[in-house]
Structure 1
């Protein structure tokens, strides 16, 4: 019930994930720190882009990072060795729907940018409750491409973004899942669900975000899907070039860009 990672596993994508995690670390990880000695499972760690920040904010926690792709785990190990050589992380190859851990193995679960790639996120969240001790917490972070608002506005840019939404839907995922996080967690049996919008707003006065988010994270993500969008007949070469050019236009000194992530924390009631 998992689907292929729609963005692919290239070195370019590895770099983009690192840029995204580093640029948004303060925004997304603020408020997430696990006690020393607690056992934390990072579900879908990918290339370790978020793992670096988890170990930085919770240096005494015992972190286990799991991913379905062996090559991604190898890149994650290399990233941690380079950026956090003192960190101790246990790496596990496994599918989110069939993880090899006993019931109640973890005090906390961390799931970032994973649910959007699953055909059945409800089943995944329900299954993850088995691994979480009663009273343990689950943290979920997801984006929602429908929240992208920018100036100058452009129908071509919006169409390019919608191509990515369509491609993810065709693969069985949901690029608009941010708006569904709370209903999904509640339906999966979690309690005390609290969702906070984590908004990125970028303009010419924030050059680090212009480069790190508009150019290297969001526009790079959309642009990389061009061959797939063209192959699927979702756009034409001229329309696609115009859409990507107009996204880059928002990074100019008079441009602005707004995007919302959704961060949820919930509790496993244990019943």
Structure 2
């Protein structure tokens, strides 16, 4: 018998970016632009059973099933609307994929112990008030010897030219708002202690770095503009309502961020990817 993990209510899991059509497009741009970077080294054997937790609108699911076309996937999310969009996205881009869709809270997954060979979690822990508990809960449904893959960003990692205190302040607004919502936009740097603390072994964490300048126009447009800056721009009203910046300082920060995507600009960001193994049943 495994040790039960206290469930976190669905209402306690906040997604600070919202569920707008704009956010759906941003997630798609992000996943497509970063697919080679983030999914390199992730492939599952034919016939293996893989759980993707927090699949959202299916932006990452498409790349998972494309990279492992003979694996069987279960994609779970707490949002029925997001699952509907995910199903449509995968049907359009990978019509033969083996995917089951499940609306569920990851703390209350309706599976027996050791149901899956592999678990994949991308951009989920940053939104949870108890990421360590989430990882421990996922161990229950992962077979002994099965693998966990976790990918998270870190909003403290951006380096850019031209540098700007106003741009950094605008980014920090997003970090503060996510913290207020119960998440952690700086979680990437914490993956190793989080994963080891949840009882996994053979934990390996490696940085996955994005660097964009005018010699890499696809990254400038797909990541700097359409992923990162678009994400920061989306919290403007909440940041101003919270009094985190004045309107004029905010607008200057966003203008300065766009300068990093100009011909003489550069932008750097670090994601972190952890791969680990479940040694066996959780302690009694």
- Shorter-chain TM-score bucket reads over 0.9
Specify every segment of 5 or more residues in structure 1 that has no aligned partner in the other structure, as ranges: none
What CA distance in whole angstroms lies between the structure 1 residues aligned with 2:20 and 2:110?
Answer: 28
TM-superposed deviation, 1:84: 1.3
1:244 and 1:85 map into 2 onto residues whose CA distance is 39
- TM-score, with length taken from structure 2: 0.94
Determine the structure 2 residue equivalent to 1:86: 96
Is this contact kept in 1: 2:142–2:278, CA < 8 A? yes
For the residues of structure 1 that align with 2:269 and 2:211, how far apart are their CA atoms? 7
| Alignment partners' CA distance in 2, 1:127 and 1:48 | 22
How far is the alpha carbon of 1:79 from its aligned partner?
0.7
1:231 correspondence with 2:246: no
Tell me how many residue pairs correspond in the alignment: 271
Deviation at 1:4, TM superposition (A): 1.6
Q: 2:99 & 2:237 partners in 1: Cα distance?
A: 36
Measure, in 2, the Cα distance between the counterparts of 1:182 and 1:221: 26
Inter-partner Cα distance in structure 2 for 1:187 and 1:180: 11
Q: Aligned residue for 1:7?
A: 17
Residue 88 (structure 1) shift: 2.3
Matched, 1:39 2:49: yes
Q: 2:76 aligns with which of 66, 82, 89?
A: 66
Aligned pair partner of 1:25 in 28, 32, 35: 35
Provide the secondary structure at the position in 2 that maps to 1:230. helix
- Tell me the TM-score normalised to structure 1 length: 0.99
Please identify, of 39-48 and 84-93, the stretch whose mean Cα deviation from structure 2 is larger.
84-93
Question: Which residue, out of 110, 115, 128, partners 1:105?
Answer: 115
CA contact under 8 A between 2:151 and 2:274: conserved in structure 1? yes
Q: CA deviation at 1:201?
A: 0.6
After superposition, residues 105-254 of structure 1 pair within 5 angstroms as: 105-254=115-264
Question: Once superposed, which parts of structure 1, at least 4 consecutive aligned residues long, lie more than 2 Å away?
Answer: none
Q: What is the RMSD of the two structures over their aligned residues, measured on CA atoms?
A: 0.7
**Structure 2 unaligned residues grouped into runs of 5+:** 1-7
In structure 2, how many angstroms separate the alpha carbons of the residues matched to 1:167 and 1:26?
30
Retained in 1: the 8 A contact 2:70–2:98? no
Between stretches 110-119 and 224-233, larger displacement belongs to 224-233
Alignment-derived partner of residue 86 in structure 2: 76
Per-residue CA shift, 1:47-98, capped at 9, x if unaligned? 0000000000000000000000000001101111111112121000000111
How far apart are the structure 2 equivalents of 1:87 and 1:134?
Answer: 26
SS at match of 2:107: coil
**Cα distance in 2, alignment partners of residues 105 and 231 from structure 1:** 45
Secondary structure of 1:145's counterpart equals coil
* Cα distance in 1 between the residues matched to 2:242 and 2:51: 36
Corresponding residue SS for 2:156 = helix
Deviation at 1:188, TM superposition (A): 0.4
Alpha-carbon distance between aligned partners in 1 of 2:91 and 2:42, rounded to the nearest angstrom: 22
Specify the SS of the correspondent of 1:130.
Answer: helix
Give the match's secondary structure for 1:198: strand
